[in-house]
Chain A
Amino acid sequence: MANKQTMRKVPAASALAALGDPMRCAIFEQLARKPSPVGALAERLPVTRSAVSQHLRVLKEAGLVTDMADGTRRIYRLDPRGIGAVRDWLDKHWTKALDAFQAWSDAQDEEEDRR
């Protein structure tokens, strides 16, 4: 069947690498807020349209965003099929949480040492 949807396996590493760039991360978060065309993203962020397009291509290849035609424009949004987005959020979350635990726990010990 020509239009059969194929299940894509997205390597998590590429999703993480794609979001390692701060501007791509910003674009991703903008799209989480609201599906948008390239022009609207370029207006909200300090980069050119063509830079936004390039970043979107990387995000799309990583399975994080998807696009659909809307008249002459393309609307980008988070790819709901991709679990790359969820995994990335969790990865960032656990990194932040463990770092916070380490800082807090070590601070408790320093406080005890001072007593």
Chain B
Amino acid sequence: MTIAPILRSVTVKAPPATAFARFTQQMARWWPASHHVGGEPFHEIVIEPHPEGRWFERDKAGVEVQWGKVLAWDPPGRVLLGWQLTSDFKFDPAFVTELEIRFDPDGTGTRVTLEHRNLERYGDAAEKMRAMLDSGWPGIVADFAAFADQE
């Protein structure tokens, strides 16, 4: 079973090196504030700038919740991240979907292209999820609802 990757792009005025730095190192400044995974709003979002570096949010009290990791760190043109949040928005070190962000020159600005792929891996999670729901475990839909509510 395969499922189409998500492909999105925007063009920003800043050149690639600046866009790359802003995207990866100032994420908490622009990331939609309601889209936090931990119990509390994030204070910082950190991508450790090297392969295998962690990608995580940290709240004001210092509590960290990991989202994924760096798979390839190629400034200023590209970063490949592992998005490791399952369909119930829990970090799972054994679950990895690839999120590639490219920064290509576009005039004096940058075309930022994001591709989230391997989404079929959610299929395996969905199967597990169904098994859990069938056995009466109620948490998944409630977690999903909590996320939908934050929209």
Chain A residues with a Cβ under 8 A of chain B: 7, 9, 12-13, 28-29, 32-35, 77-78, 80-83, 85-87, 89-106, 108-109
- Chain A residue, CB-CB nearest to B97: A90
Contact yes or no, A101 B116, CB < 8 A: no
Query: How many residues of B sit at the interface, in one of the four size bands?
Result: 35 or more
* Chain B: CB-nearest residue to A99: B10
Q: By the criterion CB–CB under 8 Å, are B3 and A100 in contact?
A: no
- In the complex, are the beta carbons of A81 and B145 less than 8 A apart? no
- Residues of B participating in the A interface, judged by any CB pair closer than 8 Å: 1, 3-4, 6, 8-14, 18-19, 22-23, 29-32, 35, 87, 112, 114, 116, 119-120, 122-123, 126-127, 129-130, 133, 140-141, 144-145, 147-149, 151
- Among A13, A28, A93, A101, the residue within 8 A (CB) of B12 is A101
Among B35, B112, B141, B151, which residue has its beta carbon within 8 angstroms of that of A101? Answer: B112
Nearest CB in chain B to that of A87: its residue:
B119
Show 14 A/B contacts (Cβ-Cβ < 8 Å), sorted by A: A13-B4, A33-B148, A80-B129, A83-B120, A87-B122, A89-B147, A93-B32, A94-B6, A94-B114, A97-B30, A100-B32, A101-B112, A102-B11, A105-B18
Contact (Cβ within 8 A) A90 B126: no
A28, A80, A108: the one contacting B126 at CB < 8 Å is A80
Cβ contacts under 8 Å, A80 to chain B: 126, 129-130, 133, 140-141
Separation of A12 and B120 alpha carbons in the complex (Å): 11
- Least distance between B95 CB and chain A CB atoms (Å): 12
Given A87-B3, A87-B119, 15 more pairs with CB closer than 8 A: A29-B145, A29-B148, A80-B141, A83-B3, A85-B87, A86-B87, A86-B126, A90-B6, A101-B10, A101-B12, A104-B30, A105-B18, A105-B30, A106-B13, A108-B22
Note all chain A residues with C-beta closer than 8 A to B4.
12-13
Contact of B145 among A34, A100, A102 (CB under 8 A): A34
**B12, B22, B35 — most chain A CB neighbours (10 Å):** B12
